[in-house]
Chain A
Amino acid sequence: MNPTDDTNGNGIIFNIQKYSVHDGPGIRTVVFLKGCPLRCEWCSNPESQATRIQLAYNTGRCLGLSQCVRCVEMCLSGAISRGEDERIVIDRALCAECTRDCTSVCPSNALITYGVRRTVREVLRTVEQDSLFYARSGGGMTLSGGEPLMQGDFALALLREARKRRIGTAVETCGHVQWETLDEACRLTRTLLFDLKHVDPARHEAGTGVTSTLILENFRRVMEHHPKLHVMVRTPVIPGFNDDEAAISAILDVLAPYPHVEYSLLPYHRLGTQKYHFLGREAPMGEVKLDDKRMASLSRLVAARRG
């Protein structure tokens, strides 16, 4: 094999989503890489957090034990057993070591795995199907996650192969990654979507599990080393975490020296809640909702400061 050819390199992704119109310029395909160094309470993609492949169970789709017991019969490790209300119970600790594919026998896709190993070539073959749409719209491929740069070699190989196939790229990052990886990604990508969630290190740690220090440092270095890169900064507005003027103002202060950077707020939503349940977890944020008036006033603040 040619040592510079890394198209056989592979990584774990959990989705490829066509016609994405909120993740960078134009019409895009988003490749979701699994694994994230943060544990945001509000995460709308809980399946993205662990790097490993995970079993998920959608009770709403399950036909019920009186109709179908295929998975129970398939499971030799005892991880899947009969529960109440027609549903199965999964002991995820027993599951971890098993290699039998119990999801393949599920008729209704109630039992699925989050995560699949794919080569760079396989991913790009799918991404390239929509190349005509990218050409017409200035779109392309967006790497998202999780934190796509956590699978650094795989992410960079995807970016290189996309460049070879003349597909525009964007990378969404939480910023909490090795500088060398981020630096190389900035060289390869056309657009960088950088999340700034909170400036205060302690508040950041309380909400995400890590401090803001490395993130802010990486952001500064991106600005310094890649001054011409198209950068879009985004802040998910989370109730009780950063939905106040002080928090957003502090982020605006960080951005103040960089007028060319696009900035937007993303209102918190609860559409990920179901997926926590599929993974056997409770959604940490519960039923909390973002206050519309607060959101509107923060949007006005941003509009006033960024023009």
Chain B
Amino acid sequence: MRNPECCEVMTPHEQRLFDKMEGKEDRFRAGHSRVFTILESFEGLRPRIDVERAKYFTESMRATEGQPLVLRWAKAMRHIAENISVYIDDHQLLAGRAGAQGRYGILYPELDGDFLGLAIEDLPKRTESPFTITPEDARVVVDEIAPFWKGKTYHESLNLALPADVHKLTYDDPEGLHSRFIVNETSSFRSSIQWVHDYEKVLKKGFGGLKQEALEKLAALDPLSPADNCEKRPFLEAVTIVCDAMAIWARRHAALAREKAGVETNATRKAELLTMADICERVPEHPARTFHEAVQSQWFTQMFSRIEQKTGTIVSNGRMDQYLYPFYEKDMAEGRLTEDSALELIECMWVGMAQFIDLYISPTGGAFNEGYAHWEAVTVGGQTTDGRDATNDLTYLFLKSKREFPLHYPDLAARIHSRAPERYLWEVAETIKDGSGFPKLINDEEIIPLYVSKGATFEEAYDYAVSGCTEARMPNRDTYTSGGAYINFAAALEMVLYNGRMKKYGVADLGEHTGDPCEFKSWDDLWNAYVAQHKLFLKTAFMQQHIINNLRARHFAQPMGSTLHDLCMKHCLDLHTPQIPEGINLGYFEYIGYGTVVDSLAALKKVVFEDKTLTMAEVIEALECNFEGKEDVRQILRNAPCYGNNDDYADTIARDIDQLSVEYGARYSKDLGMHNDVRYVPFTSHVPFGKVVSATPNGRKAWSPLSDGSSASHGADVNGPTAVLLSNFSSKNYGYRSRAARMLNIKFTPKCLEGDDGTQKLVSFIRTFCDLKLWHVQFNVINRETLLAAQRDPEKYRNLIVRIAGYSAYFVDLSPDLQNDLIARTEHGTM
């Protein structure tokens, strides 16, 4: 073994950190000075809560009670568009914010307003993702906003609607303010799973054109039909109102830009402001004509979408390199644009995104999304609707931007397919090597056939866009789905060991009574007990989802989102309608703690039932005392076969567990009228889920994080990254279509990827990932030493970006818990 010293190569990302400490200017600053200046104006600032959206929304909703919900929502949007403060930021070329300058988050009282009183006190003190609020804004929340929503919020309805047996695995208290972290509902803090709009429609038709379509449909309604008059008419009127709202909001920005230009003394800035004014007068009402107009139009649309409703993990950006390309190509050909000016515009968008924080006011939501996580995924690469390679000059520009502008927004997703050009993969690999964790990779070869099998056409499936963390959406065919259950299967395992109880919850009978585990005679007895608990959790999750699907439409409407959806416009139905004809409803439930459960079952099978090194009683005795004084028992358990090593012993158990879920999904999704499929994407929830689970038979100590996504347990994957991919493959049930995303994190030391040779090897690794038809992979290229140093001295490392569970965050924004979790992950150097 010839091992070079492990830390002799720094990633460019690390090099920049060290340069910054030594006071050197970022080597890319000169080429991106505008966006660096904007970035420096808010970097490291604590986010604040802006209450305007909630205030105007509440004002309008108060005035429209009794009317059809979609119409009320549209009126509220218009009221906001007319009244909310508008801003033009210094140096910015794009206009449009949903709240105050700096980093900010906004409130959605219709969703979870019952938490508001609690949250206003708690948020500034929270260790995970704190926020500030001014005393005046706090007063508005407490006196004006919260009282109106009392008893009306979605969360309160859901809390009341859950039957007792579902409630007890969902919430820890009668009001449902705290999660049990067992079968955790997410709809009350995310409202939707995730979403991505068909932005191309806005660029091509403008909201004016879309309004015209609605007016024509209104004119064509049957004037005598009660259905047309009671259902379709309000919907179409709502469409016309939000289209107007968009134009009103944009024109207010135009006026402000002109006003600012009037007093601007710098001639260059004055000209920029006048250009912005012209553009904001044109878009998004009218079709975009230039690249700048297209980017502005898209930006207004996504920002207003954030105002319209909370979207899980923030609304995504879709296939930007595709829908912006015609504008780019035309402007370049006609000499209106250079590569640098195009880059500057899109980076003005990134730096705008970085200021909007996905604020979760419920404690559960905050715990799920540590580090102010948000995922406005921008998708690049992939294939065209007729299955050709889709990479173009903009694809490469986006990758270049990610290498040169050190920002963790947007969440860049690169689609990979079997004929992806070598240059594309090379640049993707070089970007990954940069060390900020981008882009994440999403595999066409898994998703496209799977989506066709779920009912999409090839054209729709080829055109999917990444949405949120790892999901793929077809913006005109998918229909909206509420956030699904996050299920703590490590809790199911614990209930096997304690006959339906958990240490955390004492004598509460939460699970099935599967008997005293010391009486189990064989592995089959143990397995069957696990299956019983597993199925109880699935049943609970599906009941939750059933209730949520029907409850949602009574609380939410999304007229702007619906305007952009072919099927909503065709059938005159809001996107929140539980069943939209011709739609494909792609939802999921989440398996949390996969590696933890697989390794625990494998350890018990091997140690207790095969080798008989320990008895079940000895294992449980050690677990009950959290291995205090029982380190020998812990070591014996830890050294049993583990998932993530391409070891059939553990991987077979992993596949059997997966099968329990896909089979259940295949059988009972029909009842829900949707695809409710198994997914393995925890965000950061494996940390709070771990906090309710006592010691587990894989040697994991009580209350520590569970394994994340479909990755191996911390430190358990000792055979390197090829084995991790192969275990992931082996544990999937490719015969079932009821599967969804699997998130997989792999960490490399820079030394592994050094030089062109290292890049080439990473490209080969990515191609093999594609061959294996895995859904997702992302890479952390970092030195452990860097992370430890960052933990010791957060001030110096405040711009250190790291990958966690499907997104990047600033390392120093994470709680100490999660920092330790990250450091614990096995490094795949060739040590």
Contact = CB atoms under 8 A, between A and B. Distances in A.
10 contacts: A18-B722, A19-B722, A19-B830, A27-B764, A63-B632, A67-B631, A67-B632, A107-B636, A108-B631, A137-B768
A288 interface: no
B87 to A, nearest CB: 50
Interface string A120-137: 000000000110110011
Given A20-B830, A44-B2, 17 more contacts: A19-B828, A22-B2, A30-B1, A45-B1, A109-B635, A129-B722, A130-B722, A130-B726, A133-B722, A133-B764, A136-B765, A136-B768, A136-B771, A138-B764, A234-B2, A269-B5, A272-B1
Nearest to A45: B1
A108 B639 contact: yes
Which 8 pairs of residues, A with B, have the shortest CB-CB distance?
A137-B764, A19-B720, A108-B635, A107-B635, A107-B636, A107-B632, A136-B764, A18-B720
Contacts of B289: none
Nearest to B726: A129
B270 interface: no
Contacts, number: 97
A32 interface: yes
A271 B831 contact: yes
A68 B630 CA distance: 10
A288 B764 CA distance: 38
Contacts of B764: 26-27, 133, 136-139
B719 interface: yes
Contact of A18 (B631, B634, B719): B719
A68 B1 CA distance: 32
A269 B1 CA distance: 11
A129 B2 contact: no
A17 interface: yes
B752 interface: yes
Interface string A1-35: 00000000000000101111111001100101000
A15 B831 CA distance: 13
Contacts of A234: 2
Nearest to B770: A136
Given A27-B761, A132-B772, A133-B768, A17 B632 contact: no
Given A17-B1, A129-B726, A68 B765 contact: no
Interface string B1-36: 111110000000000000000000000000000000
B635 A133 contact: no
Contacts of A151: none
A234 B764 CA distance: 25
Contacts of A23: 2
Nearest to B2: A266
Contacts of B636: 107
B635 A27 contact: no
Nearest to B718: A18
B767 interface: yes
A269 B4 contact: yes
A37 B765 CA distance: 36
B177 interface: no
B439 interface: no
Contacts of B4: 22, 266-267, 269
B371 to A, nearest CB: 29
A173 interface: no
A188 to B, nearest CB: 22
A21 B752 CA distance: 7
Given A32-B1, A271-B3, A108 B632 contact: yes
A191 interface: no
Interface string B753-766: 00001101100110
B722 A107 contact: no
A168 interface: no
A271 B765 CA distance: 27
B113 interface: no
A245 B634 CA distance: 53
A70 B752 CA distance: 39
Contacts of B765: 27, 133, 136-137
A192 to B, nearest CB: 15
A107 B719 contact: no
A269 B830 CA distance: 14
Contacts of B808: none
Contacts of B633: 107
Given A45-B1, A67-B631, A21 B639 contact: no
B790 interface: no
Dominant secondary structure of chain B at its interface with chain A: helix
Contact of A21 (B646, B761, B772): B761
B318 interface: no
Interface in A54-95: 63, 67-68, 70
Contacts of A109: 635, 639
Nearest to B636: A107
A132 B830 contact: no
Contacts of B767: 136
A47 to B, nearest CB: 10
Interface string B766-793: 0110011000000000000000000000
Contacts of A15: 1
Contact of B1 (A19, A70, A144): A144
Contacts of B634: 107
Contacts of B1: 15, 17, 30, 32, 44-45, 144, 272
Nearest to A61: B635
Nearest to A290: B5
B532 interface: no
B640 to A, nearest CB: 11
A107 B699 CA distance: 12
Contacts of A18: 719-720, 722-723
A148 interface: no
B721 interface: yes
Interface in A245-272: 266-267, 269, 271-272
Nearest to B761: A21
B771 A63 contact: no
Contacts of B632: 63, 67-68, 70, 107-108
A22 B831 CA distance: 11
Contacts of B635: 63, 107-109
A15 B3 CA distance: 15
B647 to A, nearest CB: 10
A22 B559 CA distance: 57
B717 to A, nearest CB: 11
Contacts of B646: 129
Interface string B627-654: 0010111111001000000100000000
A197 to B, nearest CB: 13
Contacts of A108: 631-632, 635, 639
Contacts of A26: 761, 764
Most A C-beta atoms less than 10 A away, residue of B635, B721, B726: B635
B494 to A, nearest CB: 23
Contacts of B720: 17-19
- Indicate the member of A19, A108, A136 with the most B CB atoms within 10 Å: A19
A236 interface: yes
A290 B772 CA distance: 42
Contacts of B752: 21
A144 B830 CA distance: 15
A21 B758 contact: yes
Nearest to A70: B632
